[in-house]
A and B are shown apart, each in its own frame.
Chain A
Amino acid sequence: MAKEPAMKLIDLKKDIGKKQIIKGLTFEINPGEVFGFLGPNGAGKTTTIRMMVGLMKISEGDVLIKGSSIKSDYKNAIQHVGAIVENPEMYPFMSGWKNLLHYARMMPGITEERIKEVVSLVGLEKAIHEKAGRYSLGMRQRLGIAQALLHRPSVLILDEPTNGLDPHGIREIRQYIRTLAEKENVAVIVSSHLLSEIEMMCDRIGIIKNGELVAIETVKALTKTEEDRIHIEAVPLDRANELLRQTLQLEPTMEGENIKLTAKREEIPSIVKCLVEGQVDVFGVQVQRSTLEDKFLDVIGENAIE
C-alpha cells in the first residue's frame, strides 16, 4: 500500500476581490517530513496556511489532511492539525497554563499530564503560571508550539516560527521540530522568508513567489549532488590546465593566478593528486559551495529579500 501523504494540496487557489493571491499550488507533505515553505514577504505563505486550516475559504482546489478534505470534512481534517498562524497570539490576561487549558477544553481527551508534557517539551515550566501578556516573543512562540502539540497532531503547521527568535532560540526550535518528525512521525510545515533560518531543519523546501510554487527542492540532494565551484592556485598554470584536461577530462578556465573549474566534492582529492603527481605545485584549493541560498536568490531575485 502506498504511503498516504499527511497533507496534500490540489491546485489550491485563492481570489480576494479581483486579485488572485494564490495561483494553483499542488504539493504533498509526507509523515515524518519537515517541509520548508519559503518565500519573500507577501508571497502568499500565510494565505495558503489560512486555507490549510480552514480560516479562509478555498476559492478553487482542495486541501486533504490524511485524506479528509478541509472543505467538505472539516472536523475530521482539522483534528489532525496543530498550527500557529502568523504571530502566536495568546490571551494576555491569562497565564500560559490557563491558555493551554482553554485550548485543551476544545479537544477531546487531553489530560493534565499531556499539558505538562508539552510544557516541558518547549521548556516553559518556569514561566507557565505567569500571565502570557508578560511573555517575550520567544516565549510566546514556545507557548504557541505547545498549544499546537496538545492533541498529538499528525500535521504541525508553523508560520514563521523563527520570527523574533535569536540564533539560540532558532536552534532549539530546530531540535524539537526534528525530534517530532523523526520520533513521532509528524509532518511539519515551516514557513519562512529567510532560507538561512530554516534550511537546516527541513528535508524539502518549496519556494513560493507571487502565489506560485516556483521550485521544490530536496535539501540533502541539493547539497550532495550539486557541483561545487573550485579555485586552485597552482604553478605552473599551463601544465595544470593541460593535466586536468587530458587525464581527468575536466574543463578548467584560467583566471589570473588561479584555475577555476566545477566538479563534485568527491572529485577534489583525485584532482589534487593528479596535479601533484604531474609535478605541479599546489598552493591552495578553495571550494565555493553553491548553496540553496543562491538558488533561492536566483529564483526570487535579490531585491525581494529585505
Chain B
Amino acid sequence: MSNFFRLVFNEQVKLYARKSTWIMFGILAAIILGVAIFGKTVGNFDEDQYGDDWRQQLEQENAEIAEGSSEEEVANHWGIEENNYYLDNDIKPLEYDAWQFVVDNAMLSSLLSLFTIIVAAGIIAHEFRWGTVKLLLIRPVARTKILFAKYTSVLLFALTSLVFLLVFSWITGAIFFGINGANPLLVIQSQNDYTQIAAWAEMGRSYGLRLVNLVMMATFAFMISSIFRNSGLAIGFAIFLMMAGNSIIGFFMEYDWAKYILFANTNLEQYYRGTPLIEGMSLSFSIGVLIVYYIIFMVLSWLFFTKRDVAGH
C-alpha cells in the first residue's frame, strides 16, 4: 500500500505548494485571534467572576433579569434557567477559559467546510485546467487509485485544518482567558435542559457532528469537480447548496419526501438539542440517508473520473 501512500503524499505536496492553501490557514488563525480579542475587550466573555459567594451572585443575576419582565418571560428565560441549573445542582460556574473558547469556536467549522469545499472542488478540476492530467494519468497506476488518493488527500486536509482550529483555538484561549484544568466539566444546553459534560466529550461531540456536514459537502464538491472538471462550478454549487440548504428544506417542508433531502439530515445536532426538523426523523434514519447520498456521490465521482475520455477541449 506504500504505493497509495506515495500518491496521497503527492497530492499533499501539490496542495501545500500553493499559496492559497496557506492563506486559508492564515484566515482561520486571524479569525480565531479576532474572536479572542473581541471576547476579551468588547464581548466581555470573562465578565462573570464568581467567588465563594457564587450562590448569592446567581440569585442576584436572576433578580436583575426578573425585574421588569413578566412572569411568563421569567419562566422561560434561558439565563435564569441556566443559573437555576447551577443552583439546583450545586455547581459553581466556571470562569470562561480555553476549553469553553474551543467549544464555542465549533461554529468556525463552517469555515472549515468552506475551505474543504474549495480544496475538494479543485483537486480534480485543476489537473484538467492546468493540462497536467495528461501526464498524471499515463502512469502505471489505475485511475481508481489516483481518484481515491485525491479524495483521501481532501479528507486529510479537512483533518489537518480541524486539528489546526482546535489547537490554535486552545492556545489562543489559554493565552487570553486561562485554563481550568485538563478536562473541566462544562455546563451545556441539551434537549431543552442543561447538563454537565466533560470538555473533551463536548468537543468531540460538537466538532464530530459538524464534521458530518463538512464531509458530505466536500464529497459533493468532489463529485461535481469530477463530473464537470470545473472547480468554479463545483465551489459555486456546493456553497450555494450549503447556504440555501435550510431554505430548500423550508420550501419543501410540507411534502412527505422532504425528510429525504440531504440538508434535512446533515445537521445531526438536531437530535441532541431540541426536536428533529421533520416529524418521523430519527438519528438512525438520518445516518441511513447520509450513507445513501455518500455512496451516490462516490460512485458518480468514480464513474466520471475513470470511464470518461481525457480529450482536448
CB distance from A83 to the nearest CB of B (A): 6
Q: Is A2 an interface residue (CB 8 A)?
A: no
For chain B, the bracket of interface size reads 20 to 34
Question: A75 interface residue, CB < 8 Å from B?
Answer: yes
Looking at chain A, what size class is its interface with the partner chain? 20 to 34
Interface contact B312-A102, CB-CB below 8 Å: no
Main secondary structure, interface of A, reads loop
Given the interface contacts A86-B131, A86-B134, does A103 sit within 8 Å of B139 by beta carbon? yes
Q: Are B17 and A106 in contact (CB under 8 A)?
A: no
> When chains A and B are docked, how far (Å) is the Cα of A94 from the Cα of B14?
8
* Docked-complex contact B311 and A102, CB < 8 angstroms: no
One of A53-61, A174-182, A245-253 contacting the partner: A53-61
Residues of A within 8 A of B132 (CB): 89-91
Pick the interface stretch among B4-12, B117-125, B223-231: B4-12
8 Å CB contact of A91 from B9, B14, B134, B138: B14
Chain B residues with Cβ under 8 A from A76's Cβ?
Answer: 140
CB of A116 within 8 Å of the partner chain? no
- Judge if B137 is at the interface, Cβ distance under 8 Å: yes
Contact B140 A55 (CB under 8 A): no
Nearest CB in chain B to that of A55: its residue: B310
Flag if B6 contacts A55 (CB, 8 Å).
no
Within 8 A of B (CB), among A225-270: none
Query: Which residues of chain B from 38 to 72 have a CB within 8 Å of any chain A CB?
Result: none
Q: Say whether, besides A55-B134, A56-B309, A85-B138, A98 and B13 are in contact (CB < 8 Å).
A: yes
A106 to B17, CA, bound (A): 18
Kindly report which residue of chain B lies nearest to residue A85, judged by CB atoms: B134
B142 within 8 A of A: yes
Per-residue contact bits, chain B 138-174, to A (CB 8 Å; 1 contact, 0 not):
1111100000000000000000000000000000000
Q: Mark A78-105, 1 if CB is under 8 A from B, else 0.
A: 1101011111011111100010001101
- Contact check, B141 vs A106: say whether CB atoms are below 8 A apart: yes
- Cα(A50)–Cα(B310), bound, Å: 8
Given A94-B17, A102-B14, A106-B7, A89 contacting B134 (CB threshold 8 A)? yes
The verdict on A48 contacting chain B, using a C-beta distance below 8 Å, is no
One of B17, B18, B139 near A107 (C-beta < 8 A): B139
Q: Quick check: B130 and A54 within 8 Å, CB to CB?
A: no
Q: Which residues in A have some Cβ–Cβ distance to B below 8 Å?
A: 16, 46, 50, 53-57, 74-76, 78-79, 81, 83-87, 89-94, 98, 102-103, 105-108, 144, 147
Beyond A106-B6, A107-B139, 5 additional contacts (C-beta under 8 Å) are A74-B142, A91-B14, A94-B14, A98-B17, A144-B135
Residues of B participating in the A interface, judged by any CB pair closer than 8 Å: 6-7, 9-10, 13-14, 17-19, 130-132, 134-142, 309-312
| Top-8 shortest CB links A-B | A89-B131, A55-B310, A106-B139, A79-B140, A56-B309, A85-B134, A53-B138, A105-B6
18 examples of A-B residue contacts, CB within 8 angstroms: A16-B311, A50-B311, A55-B134, A78-B138, A85-B135, A87-B131, A90-B132, A90-B135, A91-B132, A93-B17, A94-B14, A98-B13, A102-B13, A105-B9, A106-B7, A106-B136, A107-B140, A147-B135
